[in-house]
Each structure stands twice: as structure tokens, then as C-alpha cells.
Structure 1
Amino acid sequence: MKQKHILLLACTMAATSFGLHAQDSPLLNDYRTLVETYSPDLRAAQHAAGAGQEARQSAHADFLPKLSGGANFNYTGNPLRLDVNLPGTDAAYTFEGRDTKYGASLNLSQPLYTGGALRAGYDKARAEEAMARQEVQRVTNNLRHEADVRYWTSVARLELAGVAGDYRRAVEQLVDVVRHRVEQEYTDRNDLLMAEVRLNDANYQVQRARNEAEVARLSLNALAGYPADRHIVTDTLVAALSTVQPMPLGVDAALARRPEMSQAELNVSARQSAARVANARYLPQLSIGVDGSYSSPGYDFHSDLDPNYAIYAKLSVPIFEWGKRRHTRNMGRYQVDMAREQRTLVADGLRLEVETAWCNYTQAVEQVRLTESSLRKAAESETLAMDKYREGSISIVEAINAQLYHQEARQNHIQAKLNACLAKSALDRACGE
């Protein structure tokens, strides 16, 4: 019994020393990679980023000249006819159009001024592309945090199942001791009945702990897209974070690294660009172009195909729109103000998240240290109680209570380690890391 508790304390100290590198576990990093590779949410965000890039390139193409082609064919049943009598003569001349018209044409156009619509449209597309890429980062951060939660929860449930097994073995040893004392008539049979009741309870706890560990394992597999019959290799002990690491960044610097904050900033820019696009419809529009054709009938009444061309400049100036220009401009301003207020709301929420995550992390690490101290004392108390019970100096109730206190201390320590790991992961997520 003493050797077992010595081994337990050694394992506890080893886990404590390993705790400083809890988030650097190679197996945890491997699991994160599995989750990121499988995640449909992340792939969807990446597809959205690809679509945003294509939209930006499409908007950039609006700055360049446009070349278009076309063809036409037209048959008229009764073409135009003109009879002309020349003055002073009896002669009459007849001019008759052709019933068949056909040809091909090319058009080259270049916008010169569109009221800033092209530039604003490109800026809007560029901001939306950046928002889509920040969405990829946001999904990745959330996905890694979820992976950490499921990973350490699975490890904790597995460790708790081991604690339940150790407790059952300790109760079995106590039952053997009590049975021997009853057989030697050193104690009453009621002690044996109490010990056997505790053994039944220990068996129940083992089954419950194993079931919870299996459910956690299935949840671990589901996030990585693994079938239920496959087993992902994990750590065997939850790492104990017993030292508070300083926050690598200040709150303002952490906010600047959060993709949610960048998205809020980019949303303001996108709203401003959208307002400029809407307002450009009410500004002058100037474009130039060249039309080239090869058609029949040709010029000078030729019946054969003839080439021709036209160079044009087009200016459009809106004059009166019944107040639509003013209302459109006001609507755009309101939308920009909404985006700015949303940015402030996001900043306040993220600031609270960072501060709360830091508070939870420091408290969780302190709880790890407290439970470590309680665990050492509970292990020593159980050893002393078992020795005293063998000597007959304490009752069976005190021995059972000592085992219960030790088991509870181990469970509390594992839960504190789990809370610390999850708090550290939440802090990393809040700081944009």
C-alpha cells in the first residue's frame, strides 16, 4: 500500500513538471491536424475565401477594355421601295431595299469615368475577400479550441476511469483485511458488510467511469471524422499546469490579432465602398468605344459584304431622380454607422472575453496547486488509516472515509488539471493564438 502511494505521488510530480508544456503535447498537435484536415466547416470557409478571391479579380477586370462580338441575320418579306420621278423627264427610278441582311460585328469599349463605381466595387470585393480569409482563421481558432476541449476531456475521463479502478482495488484490499479480522473474531461482521457495500459502490463507479471515457472517446473520433472502432492515440495523463504563464500580449494587442476584430473593421470598409457604388449611379458616366462591322448590304447600296466602323463617346448625366440620390446617400451613411456600432460591440465583447479567459486561467492554475497539496495529504491519510485499522486502533468507518477522501482528492485533482488545460486553451483562443 505504501509503495502504491509513493508511486502515485511520483506520477503526480511528473505530471506537474510536464504541465508547463501541456499545450505543446505532440499527440495533441497531431489530433489538431486530424481535425483541421477533416473539418467540413473549415473547408467551407476555405471555399468561401477562394470565391472571394475570384470576386476581387472579377472586379479588377472591370477597369480593362471590353471586347464583344456578335452576328446578325434578318429577312424582310416586303423590303422598302422608293420610286422617284426626275423633274423634266418621264423617266422613273426605283430604289428597293434588300430583303436579306446579315453580318458580323465587334465592339471595343472602355469606361473613362463611372462616378467612382469601379474603384469602390473593387475595394468592396477586396474587403470581402479579406473578411473571408479572416473567417478561415476564425473557424480554425474555434476548431482548435474545440479539439483541445475534446482531447483533454477524453484524457481526463480515461484517467478518472483509472482512478476508479485503483479505488476498487483499494476497497478490495480493505474487504480482505476486514474479512480476515472477522474470521479471527477481532471485529464485528457489520464491518465486513459495510466494506462490501463500498466495494459494490466502487464497482458501480468503475462502470460509470468507463462509460464516460468511452463516450468521450467517441466524441473525440467524431470531430476528427474517425469511425467508432478506431482509436486515436492520446496522452494518458492530463497535464498539470501549476505555474501561471504571463500573458504574451496586452488586451489591445490581443484584440488586434483576433479575426473577429479584423472582420468588423473590414465590414466598415465594405459598407463604405457599397455606399460609394450606390451613389455613383447618380454621377456622370463617360465611356468611349469602337464598333466594327462586316455586313450586307454594305455602304453605297452595295449588295455584297462590306466592312465599316464607328467611333463613339457616350456621356450620361442624371438630372432629376425625385430625391433618390439623397435617399441613397443617406441609406449608405446609416449602413456605415451600423457597421461602426457593430465594430464597437465586437470590440467590447472580445475585450471581456480576453479578461475573463485570463481570470479563469489564473484561478484554474491555483486550483491545480491546491488539489496537489490535498492529494498528497489524502494519500498519506489513507496509508496511516489502513495501518491503524490493521492494528485495531480505528473503526472501519474511519478507514472507509480515508479511502473516500483520497479518491475524491484524486478526482478533484484531475478535474482541476482539466479545467486548467481548457482555460489555457480558451486564453490562447481569446488572444488570437
Structure 2
Amino acid sequence: MASAITLAADAPTLSAANTGFMLICSALVLIMTPGLAFFYGGMVRVKSTLNMLMMSFISMGIVTILWVLYGFSLAFGTDSGSVVGWSSDYVGLSGIGKMELWDGYTIPVFVFAVFQLMFAIITPALISGALADRVKFTAWALFITLWVTVVYFPVAHWVWGTGGWAFELGVIDFAGGTAVHINAGAAALGVILVIGKRVGFKKDPMRPHSLPLVMLGAGLLWFGWFGFNAGSWLGNDDGVGALMFVNTQVATAAAMLAWLAYEKIRHGAFTTLGAASGAVAGLVAVTPSGGAISPLGAIAVGAIAGVLCAMAVGLKYKFGYDDSLDVVGVHLVGGVVGSLLIGFFATGGGQSDVAGLFYGGGLDQFWKQCAGVFGVLAYSLVASAVLAFLIDKTIGMRVPEDVEIAGIDQAEHAETAYDFSGAGGGAARTAAAAPAAGSASKKVDA
């Protein structure tokens, strides 16, 4: 009886503070997807702007429904063979009580489910940046549906689900270096190897049409990422969430500065695109590592990621793969860098007592990180390429060449991002005013 009383006393109880904090974090993570849409939308040419925005926004619809129907169950249900989960109570979220707590934490299952939903939404949206200008919207919607089912939900279970092989191995991934960024970056590489390059790749100028939009998107991502990272501890009773919050800011700043310094040395200028890309690279790299390292370690992780990602974005020209908006160079490379550096910079005083090489822990954790990184990378690369191949051979993955040249927005969405000929437009006003000005001139002359 005493034992039972002790266990009851030790059982977690609902924390209103942690629950409110996690709901706010969930909203912060959700705003990252529109932020990503603006970030990508500004980086493409005018004729592809709306399509780029829609490729992110459609993920918010599709993934939400799939998550409720079976995604949460596959990712966080009872383990089956260390590969996937399943719990009938989670199907349709119908067997969950509104006050039922999540697995030893002080927040409801519903709160955990909606927080993780936001991760599931943004991960396929990340892939879209590699496919700009050339993918049918229906094919993209089908790809999202299949990809989250076959790739994201199982990988989330591997990394974060009790019983998942990476979780049980001891791979550290605080908020998604493997499950989100390596997963999305490897998928992007797999798909573009199947569908090929844009028309005019390495020949035509494909510069960003709106750098202010890029900076706005990067700012929203930076803002939302605090929820993404700090919220992943599911509360802040022990200060780990606060450590992650600080390290998120520090690593992002270091990566931005490092990218700009590399850019200045290599190309002779500090660009706004470089600042935005460097910030995202830092956010990616600190995502898996920030709970295990110190703020000084965050500076090192961010700086290393900033330089290596800046170098990596040029590899597409060397190797000939058309990663339109540098998803491979930033998310895949940044995720790999951040995940592997845990094996060197983990202090043993953060989220766990695991120490990296520089803190006397040897290389044991580094090898575990390698297993997680390359296991997820290989699976996502191959599975994503297979899915893209099957879609391409059935309904077709790419738009016709003439549509790609003319602009995908009008063909796929019957809209354009900017109305240059509407009332009040500069060109229209000039054209309308020209005859009147001419008549007035003739009157005066007469």
C-alpha cells in the first residue's frame, strides 16, 4: 500500500504553465511554414512566386488531416520492431482523453500531438525549395501524402518514439536535425535526381525576385524557431529549454556572421541572401545539438555550419544537380554538421550526462550520431527517389517545358503574384496619360 501511495504521489500532474507554454510553442512552429513560404517565394523568379508559396501552404492542409487519421499513431504509437508505431487509440485522435497526460510529462496528449503536428507540416514543405519552377501541383500534393506516410512518420518514430531504433541507440536529436532537416534534405536530393534540372539551369539568370521577401521569411523562421527548439523539451522545469533557447540565438548569430565572412572573402560582398541563408544554416545546425552544448559550443557549431553550408551550396554547379533554393546545401549539410558535432561539443551538463570528445567523453557518442545521420539519410534518399519515380511514371511529376518557360503560376494556379497592368499601375497610368499629354501639347502649340 505504501508503495502504491508513493507511486501515486510521484505521478506527474497537469501543469498549466507547461501546457500554455507548449501551446504557444506550437503556434510558433506553425508560423514557420508561412515564413518558409515567404523565404522560398522571394528566392524564385516572379513567374513562380505563387507556386512556391502554395507548395508550403498545401502541406498545412494535407499533413494535418493525415496526422489526425493515422500519422500520430505511426510516429508515436506503441513500437513495432523498432521501425514504426501504432496505437488504435491514436487513430483519428479518438481514444485520447482531454486530460490524459503524455508519457510521463505534465502536458496533455493533445498538446504533444499538435506540437509534433507542426514539425510534420514543415518537413515536406522544406523539400519544395529544391523543386522550384518545374513540378505539377497535383503531383506535389500526392508526393507529400505518400512521403509523410512512408518516410516522415516512420523516421519520427525512429528518432523520438519510445522503442525506435535511433532513440534506443542513444542518438541525440533535440528538435529534428535528423528527423526534419537531414530527412528533408536527403529527400530533396532524391527527388531532383529523378526529375532533373530546370530549363536553362547554369545558362539563364535565376536570381531571387524579392530579397525583402527572403529577409521577411528568414525573420519569421528565426522567430518561430524558438518554439521549434525550446518547446521540444516539453516544458522548462529544469532549465534545459532555456539553455536551448539561448543556444538557438547564439548559433544562429554565429552562422550568419560566418557565412557573411566567407562570402566577403570568396565573392567580395556581404549579401542579404547570404545573411538570410547563414541564419537558417545556424538554426538547422543548432536544432539537434542545442540541448547538449554550451553557449560557447553553440558559437562553434554555428560558425562551422555557416562556413560549410556556404561552401556546400556551390556543389550543385560542380556536380550538376539542380537544387533550386539550396535545400541540400543548407538543410542536409547543416543537419549533418549539427548532428555530428554533438559527438565533440556535448558537455554532459545539458539534456543528458553524455559528453563529447572535447569534454572527456571519447568518440562513443560520435559513432552513435553517425548511425542516426546516415541511417536516416540513406532511407530518405532512396525512398524519396522511388516515390518520385513512381509518380513521374504514372501521373507525371513535371510540368511541360513551355509551361516552365512561360511561368508555372499562371498554368497551375491561374494567378500571378503581381498585377503590373491593373488600375493604378505605373505602366497603365503612363499609357493612359500619354494621349492626353499629347493633346494638351498640341493645344498649347496651336
The bucket for the TM-score relative to the shorter chain is under 0.3
TM-score, length basis structure 2 = 0.21
TM-score, length basis structure 1 = 0.21
Q: Between Structure 1 and Structure 2, which shows a larger proportion of strand residues?
A: 1
Q: Flag the structure with more relative contact order, 1 or 2, with Cα contacts below 8 A and sequence separation at least 6.
A: 1
